[in-house]
Chain A
Amino acid sequence: MAGNKSQGAKSQGAKSQGKVKVAFFDFACCEGCQLTVIDSLQTHLDLLEAVEIVNFREASSEGRQDYQIAFVEGSITREQDEERLRRIREQADILVALGACAHTAGVNALKNLKPLDEVRQYVYGEHADWYDTYPARPISAVVEVDAFIPGCPIDREEFVEVVKALLVGKKPPIPDYPVCVECKLKGNVCVFHVGKVCMGPVTRAGCGAICPTYGDGCEGCRGLIPNPNENAMEEVLDEAGLTLDEIMDRFTMFNAYRELEAGE
């Protein structure tokens, strides 16, 4: 039965001959997700046995263009970003959004809430005219994306799981359920029960509910789950004593791009 052979899946994945060649690229971001990748190379030495990194500016001076999997960190904020991203898309068999900035536009999209001129003035002052910029977008707004790894920053275990799934041609195991699930399975005290607020009920899990596990509310960095009940979540935050502005802040800190798109 061919379906039982992992070989069948592999040919669909990026592994044809020898090690799979991967590359890392970045746009508007802090490069913290790539730092997490470098960190995971030290804790999961098998990664370098499994793949060959041919382009990773942050970790290596080598810069080859013969990659099969491209991990892209960062948001798209300029015209010239689009062209560069399209070239990466053309080369890569599989394109993965790495982290919140690439996946949902993350905190970069906070600037979309304000007039662009004001934002440029605030950041660049008298040199505002020197720098080109437009409202931040996730990479999926420009090119087709095959997979995403959420989070600010990404979770290193999840990164490794995604690499493994891609190597065997499977859909990466990114949960569609909320952080509350992982939090409950850990037997955590709900942070709402100790007077704090949390975006866990509507935020995509996969982080192991790390913030509530250490007693802080979830900030929503992994983006919202599919079909979130936003009205109910707003009521929960309202009942917890947040003002309307504070509720909007919770929804827009990492998810401003989505909220603005939904509002249009």
Chain B
Amino acid sequence: MRLRILPKEEVPRMVQALMADYRVVGPKAKGPKFVFEPITDPSEIRLDYNITILPPKVALQPPQERVARINLEGEVPQPEPLIEAEPTVIFGAHTCDVHALRLLDRAFTADYPDSHYLERRRQTLVISLECLEPCDEHSFCKDMGTLTADEGYDLHLTDIGDAYTVHVGTEAGEAALEKYATTRAATDEDMRRLNEVLSAKWPRFTHRLNFDAAELPSLLATAYDHPIWAELGERCLSCGSCTNVCPTCYCFNMLDTISLTLKEALRIRRWDSCQLDEFARVAGGENFREARAARQRHRFFRKGKWLRERFDTTGCVGCGRCIRACLVNINIVEVFNTIHGSA
């Protein structure tokens, strides 16, 4: 393990230096909340943020993007791919979100490698940040095994008081650190403080699941007809907020928009949500997941079972964003505990 020390007063200089060559996407205040957005001034970065409204996935899979330009002037439409990628640094991602990026990497590589996502990913450096305090009462990262990360970042920062330790995860991270930051080697005293900080953090996070998350797939396998889905169906607004704020959701829809001259069209990709009434509606009007209860069940099965089975990494990272966003208080921890309690 190779550790460098980044004094806190060096952080704005590092961000400023990165901004010359990269779009730096970091946590900023937005009203009483935080968001990952492009940083325009290093002083905007709030590394003391708790949780952002949307996850840093916005830098890799934007809510809406143009994916192709289609020329309609000839006999047959001529599509031309549009890949809107630029060198980007995700600065200050918490480890739950780092785990989520690993799932997205797998999802966008499996079956049909997604050139748009992968090109953005190729041009992106991830600088993550160790969490020392729970975001709030809704995070359950400790249960989901995302309270720390061993991989998935280029550089990883841990706050040890007046400085950050920097763990170098990749060669690209190492090169960036050398080029953009002024650091020094870690001393024995730095290491002592790091160990102190890390051992102090674990007891601050409590377990909220009443069982081991590794049991989720087998637990859900017995719960397909559980009465809880009907209850959730009664409560759910189908507003899609739970999935739209989720760092491991990646479903999208494609839309075409044509120019007024009718000579050119743009193909747009937008986030979609399995919770929306129209998500599983097909030509002819048939809807394969018409009941809200069925849509809720689908979401929990994806988070607890299907994604894990398919991508061999947790489908839910315990960030708690869906709980905070839900206006009818549907709480994934309570849902899983209820199912476990009745198993």
- A residues in contact (CB < 8 Å) with B: 4-6, 10, 44, 46-47, 49-50, 160-161, 163-165, 167-168, 173, 176-178, 180-181, 184-190, 192-194, 200-202, 225-227, 229, 231-233, 235-236
Contact = CB atoms under 8 A, between A and B. Distances in A.
A168 B237 contact: no
Contacts of A164: 257-260, 262
Nearest to A185: B63
B241 interface: yes
Contacts of A227: 238, 277
Nearest to B31: A189
A6 to B, nearest CB: 6
Interface string B270-298: 11010011100000000000001000000
Given A177-B276, A180-B240, A192-B327, A185 B30 contact: no
B143 interface: no
Interface of B: 30-33, 35, 37, 53-54, 58, 63-64, 72, 75-77, 234-241, 244-245, 255, 257-262, 270-271, 273, 276-278, 292, 325, 327-328
B238 A189 contact: no
B77 A4 contact: yes
A21 B238 CA distance: 40
A185 B270 contact: yes
A194 B32 contact: yes
Given A5-B75, A229-B238, A232-B237, A177 B260 contact: no
A171 B237 CA distance: 26
Contacts, number: 115
Nearest to B76: A4
A201 B328 CA distance: 11
Contacts of B259: 46, 164
A47 B37 contact: no
A193 B271 CA distance: 23
A177 B77 CA distance: 30
A49 B244 contact: no
Closest 6 CB pairs of A and B: A46-B260, A180-B239, A185-B63, A184-B244, A201-B239, A201-B237
A10 B239 CA distance: 35
23 contacts: A46-B260, A46-B261, A50-B262, A164-B257, A167-B262, A173-B255, A176-B276, A178-B240, A180-B239, A184-B53, A185-B63, A185-B64, A185-B244, A186-B63, A187-B35, A187-B37, A189-B30, A190-B327, A201-B237, A202-B237, A226-B278, A232-B328, A233-B237
A6 B77 contact: yes
Nearest to B329: A239
Given A46-B261, A173-B257, A235-B328, 19 more contacts: A4-B77, A5-B75, A6-B72, A6-B77, A50-B260, A164-B260, A164-B262, A167-B262, A168-B258, A176-B276, A177-B276, A178-B239, A181-B276, A184-B241, A185-B244, A187-B53, A189-B30, A190-B325, A236-B327
Nearest to A178: B239
B236 A177 contact: no
A232 B76 contact: no
Nearest to B261: A46
Contacts of B53: 184, 187-189
B248 to A, nearest CB: 16
B271 A185 contact: yes
A181 B261 CA distance: 30
Contacts of B31: 189, 194
